[in-house]
Amino acid sequence: MTHNTPLSPRPLHHLADGRRRLMTVAQLRAHGVSAAETDEQCRPGGPWQRLLPNVVLLHPGPPTSEERLHAVLLYAARERTERPAAGATASVPVQPGREEAPAPAYAEAVITGLAALTLHGFSAAPPLPSLDAIDVLVPRLRRLRTTGCARIVRTTALPTAVWVTGVPAAPVARALADAVAELTDAGVVRRLLTEAVRGGHCEPAAVVRELNRARLLSRPHVVDAVDSLVAEGRALAEQRLYRMVREHGLPEPVWNVDLRLPGGPLLGGVDAFWPEHSVALELDTRAHRQQEDDAVWAEHVRKREHLERLGITVVHLTPRKLRDSTEHQATVVRTALMAAGDREPAAYVVVSPR
Domain coordinates in residue numbering, the chain: 1-63, 246-353
Average the pLDDT over 238-264 and give the result.
94
Nearest-angstrom CA–CA distance, 55 and 328: 51
Average the pLDDT over 112-137 and give the result.
97
| pTM for this prediction | 0.74
Average the pLDDT over 272-295 and give the result.
76
Residue 332 has pLDDT above 50, yes or no: yes
Nearest-angstrom CA–CA distance, 131 and 135: 10
* Among 81, 151, 149, 172, CA closest to 109: 151
Residue 111 pLDDT class (50, 70, 90 cuts):
very high
User: Do the Cβ atoms of 31 and 61 come closer than 8 Å?
Assistant: no
Average the pLDDT over 70-94 and give the result.
63
User: pLDDT tens digits for 130-186?
Assistant: 999 999 999 999 999 999 999 999 999 999 999 999 899 999 999 999 999 999 999
The whole-number pLDDT of residue 134 equals: 98
* Among 152, 143, 225, CA closest to 190: 225
The whole-number pLDDT of residue 298 equals: 76
Mean of the per-residue pLDDT values of the chain? 85
The residue type at 8: S
The whole-number pLDDT of residue 20 equals: 59
* Position with higher pLDDT, 273 vs 19: 273
Is 3.40.960 the CATH number for 246-353?
yes
- In sign, the C-alpha dihedral spanning 254, 257, 260, 262 is negative
The whole-number pLDDT of residue 342 equals: 80
Phi-psi label, residue 249: left if phi above 0, alpha if psi -120 to 50, beta otherwise:
left
Which range among 12-21, 70-79, 116-125, 195-204 shows the weakest confidence by mean pLDDT? 12-21
Long-range residue pairs from 183-191, CB within 8 A, at least 24 positions apart, any chain: 184/221, 185/221, 186/221, 186/224, 186/225, 188/124, 189/221, 189/222, 189/225, 190/224, 190/225, 190/228, 190/229, 191/124
Nearest-angstrom CA–CA distance, 122 and 114: 9
Residue 314 has pLDDT above 90, yes or no: yes
Residue 100 has pLDDT above 60, yes or no: no
Residue 101 has pLDDT above 50, yes or no: no
Residue 286 has pLDDT above 80, yes or no: no
The whole-number pLDDT of residue 12 equals: 55
The whole-number pLDDT of residue 154 equals: 96
